[in-house]
Amino acid sequence: MRHILLATLLLLVCSRQSLLADDGHFPETAAQAAAQPATETYTPGLGEFMMSVQQHHAKLWFAGKSGNWSLAGYELGEISEIFEDINRWTPVWQGHPVARLIHPMTGAAMLGLQQSIAHHDKAAFRRSFDQLSGSCSTCHTATGHDDIIIQRPVFPPLTNQRYRPVH
Ligand code: HEC
């Protein structure tokens, strides 16, 4: 029993130790704690951003196909935001200037999608969607990944979301 108590005490001391600031004191306030430099921060890699782009790309298809234009606009906006994040966090990937490639490669298709969504035009949406998928694959080829080929999705990525519009 004594041993268990001692071990617990030791554990407590050790865990408190790790909370100490450099000067050996506990940070008094949240502001003080925040002011301490973080030793390591987590930044997602390009592959993680891309997995997320892939999901939104698939959802975009089902939203547009179902004529759920507000959802389609939302999904397109999410893709744009992730492209912005890539610009900021992983501008260069294995020597390839991905940030500089995004706009020239995808800009026309993204604009076409935006316009087709604004005009509720399914035929134009399909064309621009295929153009976007083609540009995704073109960039993959340009960055040494001609094995990542993007196409129209056959099934929704998740089945717990309805694409049919409310109105
Ligand atoms: C600027 C160039 C570029 C564009 C544009 C681009 N990608 Fe990528 N993508 C990459 C690179 C580079 C990788 C490899 C990243 C890695 O392995 O870490 C990648 C990886 C991927 C992967 C593989 C992720 C995995 O781990 O399985 C998918 C899926 C993907 N992209 C989807 C897309 C989709 C969908 C689009 C278009 C909406 C797109 N990408 C547009 C450069 C691009």
Per-residue pLDDT of the chain (167 residues; tens, 9 = 90+): 445 444 444 444 444 444 445 555 555 566 666 666 667 788 889 999 999 999 999 999 999 999 999 999 999 999 999 999 999 999 999 999 999 999 999 999 999 999 999 999 999 999 999 999 999 999 999 999 999 999 999 999 899 999 999 97
What pTM does this model have?
0.81
Q: Report yes or no: 146 and 96 within 8 Å, Cβ to Cβ.
A: no
| Separation of alpha carbons 167 and 44, rounded Å | 37
| Separation of alpha carbons 120 and 138, rounded Å | 27
Is 21 in the same domain as 51?
no
Ligand 1 neighbours (beta carbon < 6 A) = 45-47, 50-51, 53-54, 57, 79, 93, 98, 101-102, 105-106, 132, 136, 139-140, 143, 145, 148, 150
147 assigned to some structural domain? no
Is 104 in the same domain as 136?
yes
Domain range for 55 is 46-142
Is 14 in the same domain as 80?
no
Ligand 1 center–CA 69 separation, angstroms: 25
Is 23 in the same domain as 93?
no
Ligand 1 center–CA 20 separation, angstroms: 42
Is 88 in the same domain as 113?
yes
Q: Residues 94, 97, 102, CA angle at the centre, nearest 5°?
A: 125
